[in-house]
Amino acid sequence: VGNVNLTLYTAPNPDTAETSNGPYTLTAKTTLRVKARQVRVKLTEAVASAWRVGVIRLGVIQSSRR
């Protein structure tokens, strides 16, 4: 915990360019909020050490409509 960085790449539509959000250093529980239709997750090590990916949980809710 604390040696992994999270970067989120978000896009409002499939045909638009991605926006980079982060990197965020992960702690035991990290709360983030982004608004997008597409999200790509990238995990990288901040410090060279042994780590592994467990279950990634994303809470997704519907946003306002147009």
Distance separating alpha carbons of residues 14 and 47, to the nearest angstrom = 33
Q: Is the pTM of this model over 0.85?
A: no
Q: Assess contact for 6 and 22: CB atoms under 8 A.
A: yes
Whose tokens are 């239709």? That residue is: 37
Report the side by side order of strands in the sheet with 38-45. Answer: 19-25, 4-11, 38-45
pLDDT in tens, the chain (66 residues): 557 889 999 999 999 999 999 998 887 778 888 889 999 999 998 777 777 778 888 888 887 766
CB under 8 Å to 26, separation ≥6 — which residues? Answer: 1, 2, 4, 5, 6
24 strand-pairing partners: 6
